């Protein structure tokens, strides 16, 4: 079965992301795997390698992760979800990439502190991970809670083609949530009517399970336009397409992520070209 992968550093933001992922797993009927990366130098005392000590340290970490995940399974609403854990040695990006390459991961979920700023091991890696993995990545601010029928907003410039996996994941999510409508926010430096009509038609043919409501930014700054829109329109999940050459990609720098992580955005789903 396809999995939802959750990155954990045992923080409050990771716990919030895990709760969100478990709710998603119930709706989507997916398994959950919780992953924790042990830094290569973590647990080594005074830079002196002690094989017995370090193995005990790794064992304790793995048991702690299992117990951390089991706390969620003990809740009645999450009892049906199959949860596994992986505690591996290495940098987070490498541990996650290896796992994604070898397992049927449909969605990566990561927590950040949201409007108060990026913090923690997981949070500091969130913007980096969206440039490293091609798996759809759901970034959950600490203030965000799961919505059973979320309002989904897709920001696009109509230049970027969604991958088949991302289209499938987005359609499955829309269908599972029974969302009757999905908002589309058109982002472009110089709007063109012909380009808009072509883009609308293509996107409508891809998203099968919801009526699309098209909106257009009247703002010289794409970032400010998106932030203004989500502040004035109800949005639970903001979808962005990662592409090195489009204007939306500039959102994935640490200096601008916080501009989008405001109180009206419950989560950001990063899709890929």
Whether residue 241 sits in one domain with residue 126: no
Q: Which of 73, 108, 141 is the last residue of a domain?
A: 141
Per-residue pLDDT for 7 more than 50?
yes
Whether residue 130 sits in one domain with residue 29: yes
Q: Are 38 and 48 in contact (CB under 8 A)?
A: no
Whether residue 85 sits in one domain with residue 8: yes
Give the separation between CA 199 and CA 207, rounded to whole angstroms.
12
Whether residue 164 sits in one domain with residue 79: no
Give the separation between CA 133 and CA 136, rounded to whole angstroms.
8
Whether residue 200 sits in one domain with residue 102: no
Residue 68, phi then psi, degrees to nearest 5:
-60, -45
The per-residue pLDDT of the chain, averaged, comes to 79
Residue 244 structural domain: 152-272
Whether residue 190 sits in one domain with residue 111: no
User: 212 lies in a domain?
Assistant: yes
Whether residue 77 sits in one domain with residue 24: yes
Grade residue 243 by pLDDT with cuts at 50, 70 and 90: low
User: 221 lies in a domain?
Assistant: yes
Instruction: Print burial letters for 119-151: b (CB count within 10 Å at least 16), e (below 16).
Output: ebbbbebbbebbeebebbbbbbbbbbebbeebb
* CATH code, domain carrying 194: 3.40.50.620
What confidence tens digit (pLDDT) does each residue in 107-118 have?
999 988 654 444
Whether residue 256 sits in one domain with residue 176: yes
User: 146 lies in a domain?
Assistant: no
Where are the strands (E) in 46-180, listed by range? 83-89, 105-112, 137-141, 152-156
What confidence tens digit (pLDDT) does each residue in 154-181 have?
887 776 667 777 788 788 888 888 777 8
Segment among 64-78, 226-240, 255-269 with least mean pLDDT:
255-269
Q: Which residue has the higher pLDDT, 105 or 158?
A: 105
Instruction: Report which secondary-structure segment, H or E, holds 198.
Output: helix 193-206
Q: Which of 109, 141, 173 is the last residue of a domain?
A: 141
Whether residue 129 sits in one domain with residue 10: yes
Whether residue 134 sits in one domain with residue 55: yes
Whether residue 63 sits in one domain with residue 182: no
Whether residue 133 sits in one domain with residue 47: yes
Segment among 25-29, 48-52, 147-151, 262-266 with least mean pLDDT:
262-266
User: 147 lies in a domain?
Assistant: no
Q: Which residue has the higher pLDDT, 121 or 174?
A: 174
Q: Give the pLDDT confidence score for residue 148 in this predicted structure.
A: 83
Query: What domain count does the chain have?
Result: 2
Q: Which of 119, 141, 163 is the last residue of a domain?
A: 141
Biggest CA-to-CA distance, the chain: 68
């Amino acid at each position: 079965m396809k999995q939802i992968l959750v990155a954990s550093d045992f923080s409050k933001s990771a716990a919030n992301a895990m709760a969100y992922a478990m709710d998603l797993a119930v709706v989507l009927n997916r398994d959950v795997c919780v992953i924790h990366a042990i830094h290569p130098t973590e647990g080594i005392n005074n830079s002196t390698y002690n094989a017995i000590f370090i193995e005990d340290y790794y064992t304790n970490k793995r048991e702690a992760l299992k117990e951390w995940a089991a706390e969620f399974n003990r809740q009645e609403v999450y009892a049906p979800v199959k949860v596994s854990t992986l505690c591996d040695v290495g940098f987070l990006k490498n541990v996650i990439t290896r796992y994604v390459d070898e397992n049927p991961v449909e969605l990566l979920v990561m927590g950040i502190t949201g409007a108060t700023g990026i913090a923690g091991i997981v949070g500091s890696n969130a913007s980096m991970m969206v440039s490293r993995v091609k798996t759809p990545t759901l970034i959950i601010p600490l203030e965000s809670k799961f919505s059973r029928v979320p309002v989904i907003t897709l920001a696009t410039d109509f230049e970027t083609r969604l991958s088949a996996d991302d289209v499938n994941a987005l359609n499955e999510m829309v269908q599972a949530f029974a969302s009757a409508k999905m908002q589309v926010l058109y982002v472009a430096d110089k709007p063109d009517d012909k380009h808009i009509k072509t883009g609308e038609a293509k996107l409508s043919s891809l998203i099968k399970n919801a009526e699309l409501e098209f909106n257009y930014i009247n703002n010289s700054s794409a970032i400010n336009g998106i932030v203004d829109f989500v502040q004035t329109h109800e949005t639970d999940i903001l979808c962005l397409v990662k592409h090195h050459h489009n204007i939306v990609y500039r959102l994935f720098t640490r200096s601008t992520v916080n501009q989008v992580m405001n109180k009206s955005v419950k989560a950001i789903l990063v899709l890929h070209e």
